[in-house]
Structure 1
Amino acid sequence: MAGTLQRHPGAAVTPRLFFVAGWRSHLALFRWMRPSAFIPTVLGVPVVQLIWFVHLGHYLGSYPTEYYVVGNALNACAMAGLFAPAMSIQGERMSGTLTAVLATPANRAVMFGGRIGPAVLIGALTSAVMLALGTALGWLRIPPAALPQLALAVLVTALSCSACGLVIGAVALRTREATFLANVVLYAMLLVCGVNIPLDRLPGWLAAIGELVPMSQGIEAARRALSQSPGVPGLLGWELLKAAMLVLLALFVLRLLEKLSREQAGLDDA
């Protein structure tokens, strides 16, 4: 009877820990900013990037305008996906609250895994806004029949990018350079994921890296969804597999670096 009573509260707390704690940690990224600052922070850079590459691509005439719109629209979810999980964990360390967080008996996988939830939602919303902007400006036409597969491609891509951001956040347990690392990964993905340059136009070794990096299959799936070409489920399956592997890697690194930090008293080293 006592064992039964002890299990029920845990079952109720786990979803709350995953969703509520993850969302509050995301809100904490903007704790010193007015709510009105959220929009330019999240949408400002993707809008400028979209307009820049569309006009550059139109000037060069290498590929159709739609190619650049779709690539940069889905790349927009990488900013929220990479930076939000990384900065939420690094912020705990910099503010001195990481030791209190890690002192709780809460499940680490649930506690840190929930931090990618808001990043997925914000990233997917950002990509949707970019696609809507491209459509409003006459650069993109979205057939109604393509909407379900396109929406799924956006969500899966946002999940994959957020899983990568969780890996970067795990590294933040031992370094203060998580933001710098997120910037490096963001611009590397812009180069090797087929955002503006097809993978088959890259050197072989660079294209191979691009196939393994998050977002590449998601972008290709979105392009195929819009052209109503086959192969979308297979591409999204590979993207989901990469997301799952990255989440497992992040949780392993978090566990390992937490143990090392405790042994070396490095959790408060901000």
Structure 2
Amino acid sequence: MSILGSLRIFVSSAVFSFRAQFGWLYPPMWLTMKLIMSLSQMAFFVFVGQFLVTTGNASTNIIAYIAIGNAVQALSWNTVFSVINITSHDKWDGTLPLLLATPAHRLPLFIGRAMMHVFDGMVSVAISFAYAVFLFGVNLGNADILALIAVVFLTALTMSGFGLLIGGFAFYFRNPLVFANIFTFILLIFCGVNFPVQSLPQPLQLISYIFPLTYGVDAARQAIAGATLSAIAPLLSQMVVVGFISIILGYSFFRSFEHIARKTGNIEAV
């Protein structure tokens, strides 16, 4: 297949996968969720942090630490939850047989499903940072804004790869939405969103680094502290590698599922 043909499949898959969610999620509801979910999650953890400060169990720096972590983590609702949810709707809405019947090349078709959610996730992060600055006093005066934008984009991109990995694995189950819920909240525990990864038991720290978000949250905090893009490049490189591996594994799951589904003739129940 030509490059232009693959690009057309990629763009079509990206656009239609994103538009499909508005079959059940109306734009006003989508906007309301985007505004409220980021604020409610951030406020909950920030207020927990403020309680720790008032009781003398934490320094005041923890407020900014938590707010920044939750601002970056906000993109996981788009890049993980929503991307996995595509698999659910393929099964529930009866579009999965059509997807498997198309002669389109599978790789751009598979990767394209997540791409609009990359930019949607970046919008979520921008809204969350507005809350962090104007409501919770996070200071961006020393931030390298270009480095921060690069961090957010790469984090959204690699987390979409992680979403494709879990979404590809979830093809094998009747209700993929279960995995969307599980992994969205696992990220809050393992990725240094509200407390340092080093606070976890040693074996769990190793698990933290299989998630691209761990590198993204760390890099975002460094960029806000004034680190340049070159200074955080090693972190970003590790994150890109993890994201690339996630996409390859997710695509492998997808092709394996397709093979099994064709062999058994039992697509939705596989």
Q: TM-score, normalised by structure 2?
A: 0.91
Displacement of 1:119: 1.1
Letter in 2 for 1:184: I
Choose which of 100, 106, 110 in structure 2 pairs with 1:112: 110
Q: Partner residue of 1:3?
A: none
Displacement of 1:80: 0.7
Q: What runs of 5+ residues in structure 2 fail to find an aligned partner?
A: none
Map 1:169-208 to 2 at 5 A: 169-208=167-206
Q: Partner residue of 1:263?
A: 263
Letter in 1 for 2:263: E
Task: Deviation per CA, 1:165-218: give whole Å up to 9, x if none.
Answer: 111221232212311111111111100100001011111011111122220011
Q: For residues 32 and 249 of structure 1, what CA distance do their matches in structure 2 show? A: 30
Q: For residues 145 and 75 of structure 1, what CA distance do their matches in structure 2 show? A: 18
Q: Bigger CA drift: 36-45 or 184-193?
A: 36-45
Q: What secondary structure does 2:192 align onto? A: coil
Q: For residues 92 and 211 of structure 1, what CA distance do their matches in structure 2 show? A: 30
Letter in 2 for 1:259: H
Map 1:240-259 to 2 at 5 A: 240-259=240-259
Q: What secondary structure does 1:215 align onto? A: helix
Displacement of 1:115: 1.0
8 Å contact from structure 1 (residues 69, 139) kept in 2: no
Q: For residues 86 and 185 of structure 2, what CA distance do their matches in structure 1 show? A: 20
Displacement of 1:147: 0.3
Q: For residues 165 and 125 of structure 2, what CA distance do their matches in structure 1 show? A: 22
Displacement of 1:88: 1.5
Q: What runs of 5+ residues in structure 1 fail to find an aligned partner?
A: 1-6
Displacement of 1:76: 0.4
8 Å contact from structure 2 (residues 143, 225) kept in 1: no
Letter in 2 for 1:179: L
Q: What secondary structure does 1:115 align onto? A: helix
8 Å contact from structure 1 (residues 89, 169) kept in 2: yes
Q: For residues 57 and 75 of structure 1, what CA distance do their matches in structure 2 show? A: 17
- Identity rate of aligned residues, in percent? 28
Q: Bigger CA drift: 95-104 or 33-42?
A: 33-42
Q: For residues 192 and 87 of structure 2, what CA distance do their matches in structure 1 show? A: 29
Instruction: Report the count of equivalent residues.
Output: 262
Q: For residues 111 and 195 of structure 1, what CA distance do their matches in structure 2 show? A: 32
Q: For residues 176 and 35 of structure 2, what CA distance do their matches in structure 1 show? A: 21
Q: Bigger CA drift: 95-104 or 135-144?
A: 135-144
Map 1:78-89 to 2 at 5 A: 78-89=76-87
Letter in 2 for 1:24: F
Change (3 A) 1:234 1:267: same
**Alignment pair present for 1:126 and 2:124:** yes
Letter in 1 for 2:244: A
Task: Deviation per CA, 1:206-265: give whole Å up to 9, x if none.
Answer: 111112222001100000111124641111111111110100111111111110111111
Displacement of 1:31: 0.7
Q: Partner residue of 1:218?
A: 216
Displacement of 1:12: 3.0
8 Å contact from structure 1 (residues 77, 124) kept in 2: yes
Letter in 1 for 2:11: F
Q: What secondary structure does 2:104 align onto? A: coil
Displacement of 1:99: 1.1
Q: For residues 241 and 268 of structure 2, what CA distance do their matches in structure 1 show? A: 35
Q: For residues 202 and 268 of structure 2, what CA distance do their matches in structure 1 show? A: 43
